[in-house]
Structure 1
Amino acid sequence: MLVVEDEPPIVRVLVGYLEREGLEVVVAGDGESALDAVRAYRPDVVVLDLMLPGIDGLEVCRRLRTFSDAYVIMLTARTEEIDRVVGLSVGADDYLGKPFSPHELVARVRAMLRRPRVGAADVSTTRTFADLTIDPATREATQDGAPLELTRTEFDLLDVLSERPRQVVPREQLFERVWGGQWFGDDHVVDVHVANLRRKLGDDARAQRYIRTVRGVGYSMGADT
């Protein structure tokens, strides 16, 4: 895994805790070297500080998402909700505010590494919703024949929602299926990821062409066509 942090004391603590868990850790201290490390080492998880010299964490995450599907946990000293939402909207899977507990960070990393690949119940069936096609076996989604660039989390959400058209999937079930029941954040995260997914689908939340919101419960997918 990759730790992107420019404060040596924090780096020492993070590396110590993660290595005691048996994880192989690579460290980068700025945005450019972080992107180079992702290309070179192909980590499964990236712990990414928001405030970095040169390219900041948001831009690193945005660029990383053009060539990597690694899980990204963003570290931020900013506590405003808009900053957390922006981080998730550029491709982060989770966030953790500073100061943070190293034990909690390790737990979140472990949870991500244990996350199941969903859709195992019916991976042989390609699902079609109007011009949207989802192939669980290859983990690919296309719209009008063009591939959609989805993060792991976005595809997993689409996979779960598309398994049973029109059936409402409660948020709790989405957490269980997509995050493997190991969740430490707030439930606003799932809403942001669904919003990101809708944006990539060109799905106006008011029109709800593909994904329908059931207030206070969860989400459902439109019927097969």
Structure 2
Amino acid sequence: MTATTPLVTILDDEPAIRTMLAQTLEEAGFRTLTFARATEFEAALRTHSPDICLVDLSLPDRDGLTLVHRLALEQGARVIIISGRAEVQDRVTGLELGADDYIIKPFDPAEVVARIRARLRRDAPGPNTGNTARFGPWTAHFDRYVLEDDTGQETPFSHAEGEVLRLFLDRPKRLISRQAMQEALGGAAGESFDRAMDVRISRLRTKLREDPKNPRLIKTIYGAGYIFLGDVSWGPA
């Protein structure tokens, strides 16, 4: 394996799960680093930049959901939660806080590999390969996960919010249905996905200083989906 091989970090306090996931992922061609505690994991992030973070919610030294939110917002990390918490509200909360996917224990290791590969494929360069998109008074920097207004003030967004924003910016002035969003962004269709999308779009509107009663950029077409109304230009960072 080389430094260009995708790196997956595994944070779980169960040794058997860490070993099983590491072996399965390495056999599938990934590099891995494993951690039993959040403090060790966070220390490693100072010198490593993982492509995917697998995070258990039940950690001995940190609240898993708080960690997921910080990873997604401050690090712009791709986060997949692996948890024994199977309630719909737990899944919704994890996705609302910025996780990209949620896998329930017990799981088939092959499913984890498939979800990781699907996530990396979705993040591969699309028709607009630049890191910067400009629309109205805004510039979205996808290399730094920040929105910059015309005065230079910056507002961070999570990787998950960035996926939704990029979907809109790739398809300006075109209707994007809920089904199209689910197909583009992945995850199981259903209540948890719909609610997570509602929260991410609401947060994007807030960061774009939209009037929630009359948004100018991200319009809801009730019963059909969404349309992004801005003119978009792409370029390098």
- TM-score with structure 2 length normalisation? 0.78
* Aligned residue runs from structure 1 range 89-128, under 5 A: 89-117=96-124, 120-121=127-128, 123=130, 126-128=133-135
Distance 1:205 1:85, change over 3 A: farther
Residues in 1 aligned to 2:189 and 2:76: alpha-carbon distance in whole angstroms: 22
Aligned to 2:214: 207
Asked whether the 8 Å contact 2:53–2:79 carries over to 1, the reply is: yes
Residue ranges of structure 1 left out of the alignment (5+ in a row): none
Q: Secondary structure of the equivalent of 1:39? A: coil
Asked whether the 8 Å contact 1:4–1:27 carries over to 2, the reply is: yes
**Does residue 205 of structure 2 align to residue 198 of structure 1?**
yes
Asked whether the 8 Å contact 1:78–1:97 carries over to 2, the reply is: yes
Q: For 1:96-118, what per-residue CA distance to the aligned partner results, in whole angstroms no more than 9, with x for missing partners?
A: 11222211111111112222345
Greater Cα shift, 132-141 or 8-17: 132-141
Residues in 1 aligned to 2:76 and 2:146: alpha-carbon distance in whole angstroms: 13
Greater Cα shift, 110-119 or 43-52: 110-119
Aligned to 1:12: 19
Residue ranges of structure 2 left out of the alignment (5+ in a row): 1-7, 233-237
Report the AA paired with residue 81 of structure 1.
V
Residues in 2 aligned to 1:53 and 1:194: alpha-carbon distance in whole angstroms: 33
Report the AA paired with residue 51 of structure 2.
D
Asked whether the 8 Å contact 2:172–2:231 carries over to 1, the reply is: yes
Aligned to 2:235: none
Structure 1 position 6, deviation (Å): 0.3
* Aligned residue runs from structure 1 range 68-87, under 5 A: 68-87=75-94
Q: Secondary structure of the equivalent of 2:99? A: coil
* Aligned residue runs from structure 1 range 150-161, under 5 A: 150-161=157-168
RMSD: 2.9
Report the AA paired with residue 189 of structure 2.
D
Asked whether the 8 Å contact 1:88–1:192 carries over to 2, the reply is: no
Distance 1:58 1:203, change over 3 A: farther
Asked whether the 8 Å contact 2:145–2:157 carries over to 1, the reply is: no
Structure 1 position 138, deviation (Å): 7.9
Distance 1:194 1:6, change over 3 A: same
Report the AA paired with residue 116 of structure 1.
D
Aligned sequence identity (%): 34
Residues in 1 aligned to 2:203 and 2:89: alpha-carbon distance in whole angstroms: 14
- TM-score with structure 1 length normalisation? 0.81
